[in-house]
Amino acid sequence: MFITDFEVYLLTTGGCSHNTTAKFMQFFKRIILIARNNGMITTDPFASYKIQLKKVDRGYLTEDEINKILKKKFSTQRLEQVRDIFIFSCFCGLAYIDVKNLTADNIRTSFDGNLWIMTKRQKTNTTVNVPLMKIPQMILDKYNGKLANGALLPILSNQKMNAYLKEIADLCGIDMNITFHMARHTIATTTTLAKGVLIETVSKMLEHTNIETTQIYARITNSKISQDMQGLSDKFIRSEKLFVEHQNR
C-alpha cells in the first residue's frame, strides 16, 4: 500500500510525469532489494508491483531543419552564439554539461592524424572519443582565442540555452520545442544513422552503456529506409525472371 501511495504522491503532489515516476520507483526498488539482501526485511513488497515505462517519441531535427538554423541570420549575437553551440552538439553529440566542460586539452590529434574530441561524460564518467567533423571544427575556430578563462564556446546556463533555442525555432519556422538535449537525438538519427553509420558506432560515440539506449535515441526514418532499399530489387533479377516465367506458363 505504501508503494502505490508513494506512486500516487509522485504523480499528483510531486507533479512528476509517468516515466519520471517510474524511474523514481526503480531507485526505490533498488533500496528495498538492498534491505532484503541484508536481512533488514524478509519479503519483497515490490513482488506484485510492476514498473512500466511508456515509450516516448523523442524529437530530433531533420537535415532540412538543421540547414534552416545554419543559414538563418540572427539580429542578436546571443542567438547566434546559442545557434552555434547547439549545431556544434548536433555534430559531436555532447550533452550540455560536457560541452560546457570542454577545454583545449580535450581537442587532440588522434591515431588517424585528425582532430578528435577526447573527454569524459560527467553523467556516467565514461570516456568519449568523437572525431571532430568540419562544421564543429569551424565553430571552434570562430571563437578561438576570443573567450575568457580558456573557454572554447560562449555557453550560457542550460535554462537560458533552452529559452533561446525556443526563440530560434520560432524565427526559423520550426514547429518544435527545441531543447539542447535534442542535439543528441539529432546526431543519433539525422547526422549519423541516416547517413549510413552503424548503430554500434553511434552507440560508442554517444557512450551509451547499452545499445538499447541508442535505439531509443535513433529512429529509422523513411529516407533511411528508401536509401537502404535502393538497388535491392536489382539483386533479385533471377527471382523476378523465375516469377515471370511461372506466370506465363
pLDDT tier at 36 (50, 70, 90 boundaries)?
very high
The length of the chain is: 249
- Rounded CA-CA distance 173/27 in Å is 40
pLDDT tier at 189 (50, 70, 90 boundaries)?
confident
- Rounded CA-CA distance 136/139 in Å is 5
Strands of 107-109's sheet in order across: 107-109, 115-120, 127-131
Q: pLDDT tens digits, residue range 117-133?
A: 999 888 888 888 888 99
Please give the share of the chain, as a percent, with pLDDT higher than 90: 55
- Rounded CA-CA distance 28/106 in Å is 37
pLDDT tier at 236 (50, 70, 90 boundaries)?
confident
Residue 220 pLDDT exceeds 70:
no
More confident residue, 236 or 160: 160
More confident residue, 136 or 205: 136
- Phi (first) and psi of residue 127, to 5 degrees: -75, 135
Amino acid, res. 102: L
Q: Which domains does the chain have, with CATH numbers?
A: 1-56 (no CATH), 63-226 (1.10.443.10)
Give the residue-averaged pLDDT of 22-42.
Answer: 93
- Rounded CA-CA distance 202/77 in Å is 32
b/e code 23-57 from CB counts within 10 Å (16+ = b)? ebbeebbeebeeeeeeeeeeeeebeeeeeeeeeee
Please give the grid coordinates belonging to residue 150: 580558456
- pTM of this structure: 0.72
